[in-house]
Structure 1
Amino acid sequence: MNGISVLSTNVNSYTKQQHKRDRSTNFSDIFNQKTKEKISEPSQEPAKFNYVSSSQNSLISLNFSDLQAYGYTVDKAGFMGADFNKAVGLPQDFKIHKSTLDEIVRYNNKTYLFAQDRSKAAFEKIDVADTTKHYYKLFKSIVRDEKDRYGEADLTNLPKGFSLDTNQKTFGKNANFLKDVSLISVTNVYKTFDQVSEAKSVRDELRGFGVSHEVYELNFSKEHLDTRASDEYTFNPDMSVYQADDTYSNAGVFVGFLKSFSPIASDSGETKLSAEASSYSKLMNEQSLADDVVPLSRLLKNEKMIKFILEELLKRNLLISKDGKSASEIVDSVLAHATKLQNETKSK
């Protein structure tokens, strides 16, 4: 469940007791002192579409008439209609199956961390059109040239991973452990396995400085797309509806992206937690502390200042010098490695 590490957060490692035991200055502390930068958060888009959930005997019950679901038309084969595509910003020939949207709803209600009663839906509403819209934009930032059908060779040539900037606080803009996916931007695209390995190496080097560069692997192999997970805590769409003659449709490849980067409901549109889940998440947030890290993409925008800050961290013995190198030498090496990766993989 790759996406959960970014779009929802387990707060066990951020409790106040742990913070009191081991409080130290990190990169974010000094960075904020130096820049004093205040970033205003974009206003939330007005919501247009949602589903209604109701039932004591099941997690979700959708109100829809024949050939209609989530407020949109559905064809006889179960694919969402042109009105859904228009609302989401999908190509006219794009065919998302209703079962995929059902799975997004099921998955989110099952995996939201801060629901005390698992027999109840964690969300009062999930704006599936809004959530799909924002994930499709991320997908398009990674897979730029879409085909109508993808054979095995086409799948092999798709990117192998990516990195992103959430552009919001660790626990989300509303401190409810959800992320507004509309604010997330792809910073790097890794076309080869070697680039993924290099990105992981940079990630590991930067962690000690409080700099974030998470790497998310993508698996578009036919074997992975065809595999159904056995557990209920994994996003597990039916991919057979996107298959024909050993190929996948363009919509199937998009859903394959969601299999690698689990689609946590976007905290935007009309998506809304249940009153119980919202109350519990606020309680957990009040009892938690998180040091917001600085993403690599922002770090490299002011290399001179960043170098000074990283050297200060080393001089204060917050990081252990290796191989007898000076603070300046260590920082130069890390920045050179990070800059090389950024130049090779930066999302255009």
Structure 2
Amino acid sequence: MGEDFNKAAGLPKDFKIHKSTLDEIERAAENDPIVLVHKEYLGVDKYYTNIDMAETIRQYYNLFSNALSQSFPNDKTSFSEADINSMPKGYSVSGFYNGYGIFKHPDSVRNDDISIKFLADYSDAFISNVYKTQEQFNEASDIIFDSGGLIKGIKPETFGLSLEEIKNVSKGEDCEFKPDMSVYPQNEDGSYSKEALFMSFLKSQGGRILYSHNTTFDPKVASYNRAMAKESFSGPGIDIDNIMTGKSDFKSFFRYWAERGIAEGELYMYENNIPKESALGNWALDAEIKQALANGWKAKPSTINSYADSIMDRLNNLLGQTRV
């Protein structure tokens, strides 16, 4: 692509993104399994009538650059295997919107458009946590699971910035984003270009189309999406920023949902001093928990409070190590 596209997409002048990559983004978007079902149901050949590729690339590149800047200067353009292996194990993102729940855009008009188009908006997204070790990465995942999925904003992602992922960018199912990496060859010294890393980043995000007012759909698709948006909702969740600033009280929030069935299995094990490690593949324990719930078991209020406190202790410890 030329300078005009780079300028529109916010890319450096000398950044080389190949047209085949943009074609592949469109191909993957039109062949997404859910999109294929909708196209067949609605009787349309094309889901999108226009895709604002520059805006999609701009949003992705800003987040990609933000991730790389945690480890390297912004003007670094080639990366050795040692460079890549030295990078963090993962990152978490704040400031993105999908139109629902805690991920609503503050501009109601824009939010309505986001929700109707069912496209994520990364225009304000940024790296909020850096997980330098595998232990930190795993702990973030565990906290999300142990909280019943209620804590949002700490989900760890690799962003495709591991050596294994970079080497396998072109592999995958037919419906997946698989850019032609022959146009982003390794350098003579075996290092990888910034463009190659960006392709792996795009791969990790599925090469999905991101929100733009200028991205449009077949009229039948637009009408269908508008109807579906009225029926869509997101599950319960509390944003990490609101927890840490005191705007939201996790303990009260968790207690409310725990009383309605969230994290029942975890609370049962906690109340009965059963280590989490013993649950993996333990069918007898699984049957025991199901039977207890069927018999009307409910966690004690003191158990719920203590469990929520333990989650917060772990969360504070993790954020103290990883918050940007």
> What is the TM-score when the length of structure 1 is the normalising length?
0.68
The CA deviation string for residues 105-139 of structure 1, in whole angstroms up to 9 with x for no partner, is 11112217245225722111111111100111111
The one-letter amino acid paired with 1:155 is: I
Q: Is the Cα–Cα contact under 8 Å of residues 196 and 217 in structure 1 kept in the other structure?
A: no
**Aligned pair partner of 1:148 in 54, 77, 93:** 77
**Aligned pair partner of 1:133 in 58, 74, 92:** 58
User: For 1:304 and 1:98, how far apart are their aligned partners in 2?
Assistant: 46
Q: Please, which moves more after superposition, 189-198 or 164-173?
A: 164-173
Q: Is the Cα–Cα contact under 8 Å of residues 97 and 241 in structure 1 kept in the other structure?
A: yes
Name the counterpart of 2:246: 302
Q: Note the residue ranges of structure 2 that are not aligned, 5 or more in a row.
A: 105-110, 273-301
The CA deviation string for residues 274-311 of structure 1, in whole angstroms up to 9 with x for no partner, is 21222222333344443352222332221773333334
**Where in structure 2 are the equivalents of 1:324-339 lying within 5 Å?**
326-339=303-316
Q: Please, which moves more after superposition, 281-290 or 247-256?
A: 281-290
Name the counterpart of 2:125: 184
Q: Note the residue ranges of structure 1 that are not aligned, 5 or more in a row.
A: 1-79
Q: Is the Cα–Cα contact under 8 Å of residues 142 and 159 in structure 1 kept in the other structure?
A: no
The one-letter amino acid paired with 1:323 is: E
Kindly indicate whether residue 283 of structure 2 is the aligned counterpart of residue 283 of structure 1.
no
User: For 2:217 and 2:246, how far apart are their aligned partners in 1?
Assistant: 38
> What is the TM-score when the length of structure 2 is the normalising length?
0.73
What SS does structure 2 have at the residue aligned with 1:217? coil
User: For 2:215 and 2:248, how far apart are their aligned partners in 1?
Assistant: 42
The CA deviation string for residues 150-207 of structure 1, in whole angstroms up to 9 with x for no partner, is 1211121223222223244339733232112214333222223222111111111222
The one-letter amino acid paired with 1:132 is: I
- 1 or 2, which has the higher helix percentage? 2
**Where in structure 2 are the equivalents of 1:11-90 lying within 5 Å?**
80-90=1-11
**Aligned pair partner of 2:141 in 185, 188, 200:** 200
**Aligned pair partner of 1:124 in 49, 52, 71:** 49
Kindly indicate whether residue 12 of structure 2 is the aligned counterpart of residue 91 of structure 1.
yes
User: For 2:247 and 2:229, how far apart are their aligned partners in 1?
Assistant: 33
Kindly indicate whether residue 89 of structure 2 is the aligned counterpart of residue 160 of structure 1.
yes
Bigger relative contact order (CA 8 A; separation at least 6): 1
Shift of 1:316: 6.7
Shift of 1:312: 4.5
Q: CA RMSD in A?
A: 2.7
Q: Please, which moves more after superposition, 333-342 or 189-198?
A: 189-198
- Of all paired residues, the percent bearing the same amino acid is 30
Q: Is the Cα–Cα contact under 8 Å of residues 159 and 204 in structure 2 kept in the other structure?
A: yes
Kindly indicate whether residue 321 of structure 2 is the aligned counterpart of residue 344 of structure 1.
yes
User: For 1:304 and 1:270, how far apart are their aligned partners in 2?
Assistant: 35
The CA deviation string for residues 67-88 of structure 1, in whole angstroms up to 9 with x for no partner, is xxxxxxxxxxxxx222222222
Q: Please, which moves more after superposition, 212-221 or 268-277?
A: 212-221
The one-letter amino acid paired with 1:151 is: S
The one-letter amino acid paired with 2:133 is: T
Kindly indicate whether residue 247 of structure 2 is the aligned counterpart of residue 247 of structure 1.
no
Q: Is the Cα–Cα contact under 8 Å of residues 127 and 270 in structure 1 kept in the other structure?
A: yes
Shift of 1:215: 2.6
